[in-house]
Amino acid sequence: MTTVSAVVREIIRNRSFLEDALARNIINYNSLAMELEEEIKKKLHPKQVKLTSISMALRRIGEKYRLNYDHKIDAKLREFTDSETTIKYDLFEITIKLTSMVNISKLISDIYSKIDTDISDFLSIIKGRTEITIITHIKYREIIKKICQHFIIKNETYDLAALSLNIPSDSLITPGLFYYFTKALTLEGINISELVSTFSEMQFILDEQVVNDASRVIRNMIKNTKQ
C-alpha cells in the first residue's frame, strides 16, 4: 500500500527547489505540509493523510538530504574566487533548420572564411539534431545572412551579450556545478538564452539589458559561499 511518506518523497523528487530548500534546512515543515496536504489527499485515501504524518515525512527527508548534501559544491564554488568574468556585447543569434540543402561542413567553412576568429571576437556554432545556431557579433550579421540566404531561418535574436566565466580545472567533474549558477540566475528572474561551455569556460548568452545583473548575481554567489 502506498504510504504518505512515499507520496511525499515522490513530490519532493519532482521539485528540485524543494529538495534544495530541505537540504539547506531553510523551509518550515508544517507550512510546507499544509501546502502539500490537498495534493497528497488526491493520491491517497483522505483518512490516511494527516498534517503530522506529512510534516514527519518532510522532516525525515530533510534530515536525509542534509546528511547526503554535497558540501563539496561550496568548496568548488570557492575555487571560482579568482575566476575572471568577461562580457561581450552586441551579439546576435541566428538559427537555421537542418535540411538536405544544408552542407554542414561547407556552412562552417564559409563562416570561418568570412569571420575574423581573433581571440577578442566571439563566435559560437551549435549543432543540434534538427537545427544549427550561430552566435556572433552584430557586425557579421549581413555576412551570416548571406551565407544562410538559401536556408530556412527559424529564428533571429538581437541585442544579446555573452557573460563568460572561467572554470577551474578541478571543478569540471563536479556534479551539479552548472545547476547552481543557472538556479541563481533563475531565482533573480534572469532568462538564459543559451548556455555554451568549453573545457575551461562557461558562457551565458543573455539579453544585454540583464547581463550586468547576471554578472552581479554570479559574483555575489561566489563571494558569499560558505567559508
Q: What is the pLDDT of residues 126-162, one digit of tens each?
A: 999 999 999 999 999 999 999 999 899 999 999 999 9
Domain residue ranges in the chain: 4-69, 79-223
Phi-psi region for residue 24, left (φ > 0), alpha (ψ -120 to 50) or beta?
alpha
Name the nearest CA neighbour of 160 among 95, 114, 217: 95
Residues in a beta bridge with 88? 162
- Mean pLDDT to the nearest integer, 118-122: 76
Other beta carbons within 10 angstroms of residue 152's beta carbon come to: 13
Cell of 207: 539579453
Q: Nine-digit cell at 6?
A: 512515499
Rounded Cα gap, residues 139 and 12, in angstroms: 47
Q: How far apart are CA 148 and CA 140, in angstroms?
A: 12
Locate 22 and state its grid cell: 530541505
CATH superfamily of 79-223: VC0802-like (3.30.2130.10)
Task: Please give the model's pTM, rounded to 2 decimal places.
Answer: 0.73
- pLDDT band for 28, please (50, 70, 90 cuts): very high
